[in-house]
Structures are given as structure tokens and as C-alpha cells.
Amino acid sequence: MHQLSLKEITLAVLTVAVGLLNAYIWREVLFAGEFKEATFYSLPVAALFLFAILFSLASAFIREGLLRNIAAALGLAAGFLMVPFQPVVLSGAALSALGGWYAAGQIANEAEASNYFSVRKILRGGLPVFFTAVALAFAVFYFSLIGGQSDQSLLPKGLFDAVVPLLERPLQKILPGFRSDASVDQLILAVAAQQMGGGIDPSRLPPAERQQLLNEGRKALSVELGILTLTGGEKGIDVLYQAANAQIAKFIGPYRDYLPFIAAFGFFIAVKAFTLPVYWLTLILTAGAVKLLLLIGFLNQKTETIQVTKLTL
């Protein structure tokens, strides 16, 4: 029976701890609506890289199967403890844990069967499964967010805020003078200026006429966008967000309850696509980590002679 070493225990504990840290960071990013800022140089992606590297090392070098599999499963499932309980969350935790268990087994089997150490060869079967489990975990986090919103917004606000500024030019053809950071009153005055021609500046109208123009514009915009009341101080992007949600809700009707599942599935696909370049970078970083661990003596290199049995005439 294999005797557990302190190095194996250390690697297992680090894998679980960093997995939990990674889940916490991504949960905070998702709940804060800041996932649009998750670039390759951001803390969330750095945490994901670190978790992937430790998961790969633990799966490849921990020889005790039970410890290896428990570390892999807990590393992926422990983060679900920070999410409000729902049946979907429990199912997601179970599937993520199973994915981690399977991925670790694939990596360990490949490492055991290989005649030489190659990061790409050893990780090719298990690491994609690991990233699928990670994408599933993030999708469940996202589902718990949009499914628990009191206003039941159908569009992720953070993503909406990131996309609309990129579409200002097309939107200006529909809403002249539209700017995402402009107030409703500023947009009304911009539209009025275009309708009146260049000879009249609505902002220089007498206060009473200007106020009447704004009141009528707010009322017309409120009716057109399906928003109950507008004070004029709202930002254009926020009004557009409310209008988009209202129109989607009207269109979806009785199928509204299924939207969190659809949105979470779409988020899963998006994260899975994002992990494709992360996978290749993880291979490079893991190879570098192996060299570093060899250098500091955490890993040992030894040569083994393997006997091969062949059949001949």
C-alpha cells in the first residue's frame, strides 16, 4: 500500500484551498456584475489559472487515489457552499464534483501509463473535463444570481452596460443624439434640436417652454418605452435597460420562468468558449510549474527501467 507523503497532502490541501478561493473570487465578480472586466490580466482569471495548475499537478503526482479524487472533487464543489441553497445548486455541485473526480482520474491514468513526462500528453484527456466542470460551476453561480433577483431582470445588467456603449452609433439612428451617459432630459433636448433644425437651441428656450417641452418628451418617451414614470434625471442606458427588459418580458410571457435556465446555459457556453485559450495557456504554465518544482526539490526526477514482453516466432 502506498504511504502518503507530506508533499501529497500539501498538494491536495492547496488544490482544495485555491479551488475555494477561485470560486469565491468568481462568485463576487458575478454578483457584482463585473465579469465583463475579467481579462487575462485580472485577478479572477489569475485565480482560475492557479487552480487549473494545482489541479493538474495534484492529479498527476498524488499517487493515493482516494486523496487525489477527494481533492479534485472538493476543489470544484466546495465553492457551492457560498451559494444560496437550491436544488439546482445541489445538482451543480454534484456534477462538478463528478467532473473533477473523472478529470483527475484521466490525468492520473495517463501519467501512470506514460513512458515519459509530457504535460500536453498527460493533461489532454482530463483538463478539458476540468474546465467543463468549472464552466458548469460558474453557470450555476450565475443562475443563482439571476434567479434570485427581486426584480427578475431578464438581462444581465453588467453585460448590458458593457455592450450598449459599443452600439451607440447604430442606436443614434433610432434615437438621435443618444449617449449612454446622457440623462433623459439631455436626450429629449437633443431630439428636439434635431427636429427644430439648426436655427433653434431648445436649451435656450424660456424656462416655462423648456419645461413644457421636457414634460411632453418624458411622457411620450415613457409611453413609447413602456416605462411608468420618468423624472428626466435617469441615464439613457438605464432607461434603455428597463425598456429592453419590459419588451422581453412582454414577448416571453408565460415562458419567463424558464429564462434563468436559458441564460445560465448561454453563460455556460460563453465560459466554456473562454476556457479554450485558457486551456493552452494552462499547459504552458503547468510545464513551467513542473520545472520550478523540480528546481526547488518539491518534485524528484528518477529513471526507471521497464521490461517489455513481446511475442516472436
* Residue 70 near residue 12 (C-beta atoms within 8 A): yes
Q: Are residues 150 and 182 in the same domain?
A: no
Q: Is the pLDDT of residue 39 over 60?
A: no
Query: Is 15 a member of any domain?
Result: yes
- Which pLDDT tens digit goes with each residue over 144-165? 877 655 444 556 665 566 667 7
- Which pLDDT tens digit goes with each residue over 88-115? 888 989 999 999 999 999 999 998 888 7
Q: Are residues 52 and 109 in the same domain?
A: yes
Q: Are residues 26 and 143 in the same domain?
A: yes
Name the band, by pLDDT with cuts 50, 70 and 90, for residue 281.
very high
Q: What is the count of structural domains for the chain?
A: 2
Query: Is 305 a member of any domain?
Result: no
Nearest to 286 by CA among 111, 102, 60: 60
65/106 Cα distance (integer angstroms): 12
Task: Give the model's pLDDT for residue 219.
Answer: 79
Task: Give the model's pLDDT for residue 87.
Answer: 84
Task: Give the model's pLDDT for residue 203.
Answer: 62
Average pLDDT over residues 214-238: 74
What are the backbone angles phi and psi of residue 235, rounded to the nearest 5°?
-75, 150
Question: How confident is the prediction for the chain on average, in pLDDT?
Answer: 80
Q: What 3-state class would DSSP assign to 183?
A: strand
Q: Are residues 25 and 132 in the same domain?
A: yes
Average pLDDT over residues 237-245: 76
Q: Are residues 208 and 266 in the same domain?
A: no
* Residue 30 near residue 145 (C-beta atoms within 8 A): yes
Position with higher pLDDT, 309 vs 89: 89
Average pLDDT over residues 201-222: 73
In angstroms, how far is CA 288 from the centroid of its own chain?
Answer: 26
Average pLDDT over residues 258-278: 80
112/63 Cα distance (integer angstroms): 9
Name the grid cell of 178: 443618444
Q: Is the pLDDT of residue 264 over 70?
A: yes
Q: Are residues 57 and 101 in the same domain?
A: yes
- Please give the residue range of the domain that contains residue 250: 157-256
Residues 249, 254, 258: CA angle, nearest 5 degrees = 80
Task: Give the model's pLDDT for residue 74.
Answer: 94
Q: SS3 sequence, 138-175? A: HHHHHHHHHHCCCCCCCCCHHHHHHHHHHHHHHHHHHC
Query: Is 133 a member of any domain?
Result: yes
Average pLDDT over residues 4-9: 88
Q: Are residues 92 and 169 in the same domain?
A: no
Name the grid cell of 130: 476540468
Average pLDDT over residues 165-188: 72
Task: Give the model's pLDDT for residue 49.
Answer: 93
Q: Is the pLDDT of residue 222 over 90?
A: no
| pTM for the model | 0.67
Task: Give the model's pLDDT for residue 151.
Answer: 46
- Which pLDDT tens digit goes with each residue over 171-180? 777 766 677 7
- Which pLDDT tens digit goes with each residue over 64-85? 889 999 999 999 998 888 887 8
Q: Are residues 103 and 231 in the same domain?
A: no
Q: Is the pLDDT of residue 275 over 60?
A: yes
Task: Give the model's pLDDT for residue 239.
Answer: 76
